Structure 1
Amino acid sequence: MSATWQVPGFSEVDVLGTGGFGRVVLAKHEGSGRLVAIKYLHGEFLTEARILDGFRREAWLLHGVVSPHVVRLFEFIEAPQGAALVMEAVPGVSLRALLAAEKTLAPESALAILKGSLLGLAAAHGAGVVHRDYKPGNVLVSREGESKLVDFGLATLDGQSGLTAGSPSYMAPEQWAGRPGIPATDVYAATAVFFQCITGHLPFEAETTEQLRSLHERAFVPLDAVPGQLRPLIARGMAKDPAWRPAGAEAFVAELEATARAAYGKDWERRGWKRLATAVGALTALTPLALLATGGVAAAPVTAAGTTGTGVVAATVGKILVAVLAIAALVTGGLWIFSGNDDPPPQAALSVTMQTAAGQDSALPITYSLQYPQVSGHADAAAQQRLNGTLRAPIDKRLQSLRQELADRDILGMVRDRGDVLKANTTAKVLLQTPRLLSVRYEHTLDSAVIAHSSWQFAETVTVDLATGKVLGPQDVFRPGIRTASGMDTLTSRLSPHTGNGFCRTPAIGSYGGDQVSIDAAKRPGGGDHVPRADIGFTTTGVDFVIKWYELGCDMASGQETVTLPYAEAEDLLQPQLLTMLDRQPPSSSAPPRPSGKTYTDPRFGFSTLVPEGYAAAPYRPANGEGIQYTNAGLGATLTVWGSNISRTAQDILGETARDTAAKGGQVTHQQVEGTTYAISGYDSSGQIFYERGYTGPGSLARIRWSYPRTHKAELDAPVEATVGAFRPGDLTQPH
């Protein structure tokens, strides 16, 4: 046994593992007799500030992730003599040990292990944490039929850069490049491990690190070694571009389950764990963790079906907490303890204040009052300087353009002859600020008797990455498939119902012209990339497009219009990294701002929804079901929620809804299926905007639908998004 410092109140039972930075031991709590796992930092690193801070950071990140599929942190203890994490002890073995013994796993077994650990990753992603080191050694497989994620030593907050480190055999291309960790980075590593489980070898192998990096960045995944039904799943999960992977672990789980059911039947998961039981049990019996079967269990018992027991964890944690707090009063020299119930220390938010550059040009007839934002409180002084330079750049360019205009002697002569003074004004407004992103709109105006063209009056939006100061351009905003001709057509069709009069047609001259215009910049004279010809910003409710209709080919009288595309219709067009920066979640798990009002839960079907204030309720009786309809006569808005005893796929229901809309003279502008959920929107034959989301299951389905006039769109964007995002479908596994 080790003679090094031990957490008071615990006695070591055996060593579970040793690494470069620490060791993990099985220990018994002397007061209760419960067994836990304790991870100690090697004593020589207590004076290494960077390593000690990393150990603390692992504790803070781990304590924020609560899931039955993540090894639970009970306490973090730091004293002058040492530092340790007190964690749940799991009766099982690592996936690395299992692969060493079995070489390959049956596909159903590999899928079952992957699903459990992905659910652990999903919990981490939900807490804003990216693991960055998913590998077989960091997945525990229990004999009760469960997989758990461990070791957050390399984890980062979602979207933040960390060490360019990880396990090279499983590292995603963006991780090799040192870019910020995102949930799709973990998806890549998990897929690489899955590949290894079913083939018996790594997806890429090389003699040098540089060769391995090149393979991960450029080589095709060798799918020939994979069963045909699983190839699309692995190809998606290991796509080189993170935008082409599932956005996070939760989305990947949905794809995994659909693939597994199609390939191996509805009981694939039960068969997969059954095949593992003997091997995992035999391997566990050879480890100190076999004591958990007789010496007390630090985690709640789990049935073969994966159902967590009750009471044991709470009792264990309570006893440990009492013991550790008592120890705190006895240990001298200082002791830092936090429990899994503490909140992490708050992170200082960036402060954004408006500044104004005002004055008069010393040589030219120009006066100006130009507003711009300035940030303070950034942890990185260099990044803050870049940010503030970027945020001031629009007004500096504005002044420079005016001076260049007056560099023309003829124009300057006209200005002076008429006694004119160019009065430049800019007002700046923050459209959206999140911990990672700032979107600012600058409204530039010019008062001049000589330079009076409308091109001098315009809006300009700058959206910056607050971590780096980088301006986000179209390639950072839109997925690659949207930056194409067909992608721009999709965007045009989705924007159309949110405009006042739709996309106009070019003026007709004889047999020429008269074509409908497009948001696609490539279709205008001069061509260029397939990107929106509009000023783009981000708000709390959606993506703002300031469209100058005459720039798209409409007549000059068309002017300009600000069109907001709700996030519900825009999420699948946007880069996953951007959604993270916007603090957006996938539609099935998003939690938009809660509107004022009440919650309604249907007693028969169990679905629930938020109801904004001022809406009158009436029963709704669809075929094979029931629901309720809320109306606001003043706004002409209707909210309908209902359940039906119908068992059909989301794709079938979506297709039927789309066909019915078209048959009645309406137009569908957006339709999407994600697993068992679908979304569809557009406008009906009367011109009303509609948005519907449906959830399907083996026994029933639940739906929510809004319908409202374009004239009240601005007032309804927020309540529509909030109620749709908060809708819960209830139990769809059975009829009601």
Structure 2
Amino acid sequence: MNDTWNVPGYAEVDVLGTGGFGRVVLAKHEATGKMAAIKYLRADFLADARIVAGFRQEAWLLSGVRSPHVVRLFDFVETPQGAALVMEAVPGVSLRALLVAENVLAPEAALAILKGSLLGLADAHAAGVVHRDYKPGNVLVSREGESKLVDFGLATLDGHNGLTAGSPAYMAPEQWAGQPGRPATDVYAATCVFYQCVTGHRPFEADTSEQLRALHGTAAVPLEAVPEPLRPLIARGMAKDPAWRPATADAFVTELEAVARETYGKNWEKRGWKRLATSAAALTALTPLALLTAAGTAAAPVAAAGAGAGVTAGVSGTGVTAAMVGKIAAAVAIAGGLVAGGLVILRSGEDPPPPPAALSVAVQTLSGRDPALPISYELQYPQVSGGADAAVRQRVNDALRAPIDKRLKSVRDGVAVPSTLEQIRQAGETAAMRSSARVLLQKPGLLSVHYEHDLDSDVLGHATWRFPEALSVDLTTGQVLGPQDVFRPEILTVAGMRTLTQRLAPHTRNGFCTVPTVVGDTERQVTMDAADRPGGGDHVPAATFGFTAAGAEFDILWYELGCATAAGNETVVLPYDELDDLLQPKFRTMLGRTAPAASSAPPSTSEKPGAGTTYTNARFGFTTQVPPGYTASSWVPENGEGMRFTRDDLGATLTVWGTNSGGRRPADELARLVASTEGDGGRVTFRTADSEGYAVSGYLGDGRIFYEHTSIGAGSTAGLRWVYPADRKTELDGPVTDTVKAFTPGDLSRPH
């Protein structure tokens, strides 16, 4: 192993930079003359499985981020001789070099750079990726007036790695503490860089890392050097508690643009880039990237031909499409399964992935004091770790933390009311918030949690500041389960809510109260129907609810139903023998419960055709799993037959078929399909073929994701194809994966 290995098909032009783990070079593709930036891993590290896995992870993460504000990944190449990322070459300079030359940037220029890179972070966050190492060296400023993010080497999807890693000058307090990386963590780092741009120095500087950690953790942001109009923006972005920062980079862009327009006028961005253009062009002219004007950048991925024995050559498409031997395929499959709409399938002979760590739950505590208001807080919330799907795990953790984030905001808003704030200050008190959290039930696909919120304050002494709440999360999707996911449709009606009220009443302390109406009229009894509350609503339970091993806990806030405020709240448990027949069959399965016994509940409606079934074709013998809620219809291909399953509310279609067209070469069929897709304006992001068939995925010309898996035998063929909107990817990843795993092609050795 040595550092002279080059990606086959590329000629090195010049070195763009070197670092502890490798080098980045400008290279020309010999067949087309297009330029690309290639990041090589140092040969010393090829034997270090941990470092190589991290390099693969960077490739996989970059492949899932599609943004004009993030440097594109064209190919990942790994052979026994070396490993490299082939990336877009951008004619520009790093923000670090720009700051060395300029020291301080005009506010409009700094805001323009921040906006572009924040948009890149926003697109990464939308793909479930947290960068964790935003710094001037990782922001490229082009001559054309745009900024792009680079280097996702520390990025993570899981939001729970426990690793204190990053660039210390820009690390958020939670990152110093080894807590999960969140979008708000990137917002903090970006704000630190923005501070440096407008002041000429970093917000905190120290001689030791411990001193720097203390400053980021407890010291007030030194805003005196910041232009007055920008101080609130920086104070928000660098709040010690991530709950006080903009929750996402996208939200921060909205705030940034509002401040910029109000302070610098509607043309602020154009003026900002105009100020940067001369410096960026002059600095770029001094680097090898000046060659890009003549040679052109790589406008599309280029195959790495002849990469080495046992390695599949790369193919066209944006994303990771080049040589991936057994272990890289395993690493990608472990990392997430669906990559930019493509499903990675391990073929025979490849190393099987180790099983993912089991999902576990631990209760975390967020504590501190508000920097501006007399509020202290000690708030518990559950957090999950382990599991196979990092993006789902992040969604679960976001859902589990949401109640305390909402609680923080509500108390802060209440205390910030001028009259209330004055009373609290006159009383010399600090409103002390507390929230406790306990796990009610954990099943393989379900987590149910109960929160108890409390507040110590003489001024805010009203009972409504103290209440319980519960939520349940689908651990396979990260979705918070609402009434429509839990109860049968006929229960979410006037009659159904009346049934629920009748069953809950005997378990309450004093039954459901009555409230007076017009003088002389009969008093009205409150119910569990949210539509009966003051203000109305849908026919759903007017309480949050969670699930235990014994039954469901309903957290009833009597004052919200119309009872006297003094009635307070009550947690009422409804046993499963009185609840089972009200629940959706799918949800009963999540609870691990069997079909209910007969009861007085309204009759159930029938499932949609094809819902939650296994379909087997009698003629060709292929079999597939059909997700719940899909409607079946006949689909007849040439010289064969099949079935199409659709779900209109998701815009998703699953098609399965068999044909008497065996004996073909899978690689030839795959090439024809790729050419047809790209000829229609689509884009292939993954493809693979062997002697038994092929798999391919990507985007159609209209932007929808497609995935096709076809098995080809000597006498016949069987296939499966999914098509669905890109914005439904998150909720369809699981069903797509399940159907692919369950698909069996039948006997392909003969015609049918």
Q: Which runs of 5+ in 2 are unaligned?
A: 322-328, 338-353, 365-386, 418-451, 487-499, 514-525, 529-540, 546-626, 632-646, 651-727, 729-752
Of 287-296 and 80-89, the range deviating more from structure 2? 287-296
CA distance in 2 between counterparts of 1:216 and 1:435 reads 32
Pair 563,86 (structure 1): closer, same or farther in 2 beyond 3 Å: same
Among 459, 478, 483, the alignment partner of 2:406 is 478
Q: Which amino acid aligns with 2:511?
A: M
Q: Which amino acid aligns with 1:480?
A: L
1:204 counterpart SS class? coil
Among 543, 552, 557, the alignment partner of 2:512 is 557
Pair 45,436 (structure 1): closer, same or farther in 2 beyond 3 Å: closer
Q: Which amino acid aligns with 2:105?
A: L
CA distance in 2 between counterparts of 1:198 and 1:27 reads 35
Q: Is the contact between residue 73 and residue 319 of structure 2 (CA under 8 Å) also seen in structure 1?
A: no
Q: Is the contact between residue 106 and residue 272 of structure 2 (CA under 8 Å) also seen in structure 1?
A: yes
**Cα deviations by residue, 1:280-337 (Å, 9 ceiling, x for unpaired):** 1110010000111122233xxxxxxxxxxxxxx2xx43xx13xx2x324xx2254685
Q: Is the contact between residue 9 and residue 30 of structure 1 (CA under 8 Å) also seen in structure 2?
A: yes
- 1:276 counterpart = 2:231: no
CA distance in 2 between counterparts of 1:612 and 1:29 reads 45
Q: Which amino acid aligns with 2:40?
A: Y
Q: Which amino acid aligns with 2:291?
A: L
Q: Which residue of 2 aligns with 1:131?
A: 131
- 1:327 counterpart = 2:306: yes
- 1:533 counterpart = 2:468: yes
- 1:147 counterpart = 2:82: no
Pair 109,534 (structure 1): closer, same or farther in 2 beyond 3 Å: closer
CA distance in 2 between counterparts of 1:246 and 1:213 reads 22
Among 318, 323, 333, the alignment partner of 1:340 is 318
Pair 264,488 (structure 1): closer, same or farther in 2 beyond 3 Å: closer
CA distance in 1 between counterparts of 2:163 and 2:261 reads 38
Q: Is the contact between residue 131 and residue 186 of structure 1 (CA under 8 Å) also seen in structure 2?
A: yes
Q: Is the contact between residue 156 and residue 162 of structure 1 (CA under 8 Å) also seen in structure 2?
A: no
1:557 counterpart SS class? coil
**Following superposition of structure 1 onto structure 2, how do residues 169-248 of structure 1 map, counting pairs within 5 Å?**
169-248=169-248
Q: Which residue of 2 aligns with 1:379?
A: 356
Q: Which amino acid aligns with 2:357?
A: D
CA distance in 2 between counterparts of 1:474 and 1:487 reads 20
Deviation at 1:276, TM superposition (A): 0.7
**Following superposition of structure 1 onto structure 2, how do residues 349-428 of structure 1 map, counting pairs within 5 Å?**
379-380=356-357, 384=360
CA distance in 2 between counterparts of 1:225 and 1:595 reads 59
Pair 434,41 (structure 1): closer, same or farther in 2 beyond 3 Å: closer
CA distance in 2 between counterparts of 1:378 and 1:3 reads 34
CA distance in 2 between counterparts of 1:40 and 1:21 reads 8
Deviation at 1:380, TM superposition (A): 2.7
Deviation at 1:435, TM superposition (A): 5.3
**Following superposition of structure 1 onto structure 2, how do residues 695-710 of structure 1 map, counting pairs within 5 Å?**
none
Pair 207,263 (structure 1): closer, same or farther in 2 beyond 3 Å: same
**Cα deviations by residue, 1:671-694 (Å, 9 ceiling, x for unpaired):** xxxxxxxxxxxxxxxxxxxxxxxx
- C-alpha RMSD of matched pairs (Å): 4.6
Q: Is the contact between residue 35 and residue 292 of structure 2 (CA under 8 Å) also seen in structure 1?
A: yes
Aligned-residue sequence identity (percent) comes to: 57
**Following superposition of structure 1 onto structure 2, how do residues 34-53 of structure 1 map, counting pairs within 5 Å?**
34-53=34-53
Q: Which amino acid aligns with 2:218?
A: R
Q: Which amino acid aligns with 1:4?
A: T
Q: Is the contact between residue 159 and residue 181 of structure 1 (CA under 8 Å) also seen in structure 2?
A: yes
Deviation at 1:63, TM superposition (A): 1.0
CA distance in 2 between counterparts of 1:474 and 1:139 reads 31
Deviation at 1:478, TM superposition (A): 3.4
Pair 31,337 (structure 1): closer, same or farther in 2 beyond 3 Å: closer
1:26 counterpart SS class? strand
CA distance in 1 between counterparts of 2:186 and 2:400 reads 24
**Following superposition of structure 1 onto structure 2, how do residues 565-604 of structure 1 map, counting pairs within 5 Å?**
none
Pair 164,283 (structure 1): closer, same or farther in 2 beyond 3 Å: same
Pair 91,484 (structure 1): closer, same or farther in 2 beyond 3 Å: closer
Deviation at 1:480, TM superposition (A): 1.4
CA distance in 2 between counterparts of 1:596 and 1:236 reads 46
**Cα deviations by residue, 1:196-223 (Å, 9 ceiling, x for unpaired):** 0000000001111001001101111111
Deviation at 1:78, TM superposition (A): 0.3
Q: Which residue of 2 aligns with 1:92?
A: 92
Pair 550,205 (structure 1): closer, same or farther in 2 beyond 3 Å: farther
Pair 335,51 (structure 1): closer, same or farther in 2 beyond 3 Å: farther
Deviation at 1:66, TM superposition (A): 1.0
Pair 31,202 (structure 1): closer, same or farther in 2 beyond 3 Å: same
Q: Which residue of 1 aligns with 2:68?
A: 68
Q: Which residue of 1 aligns with 2:495?
A: none
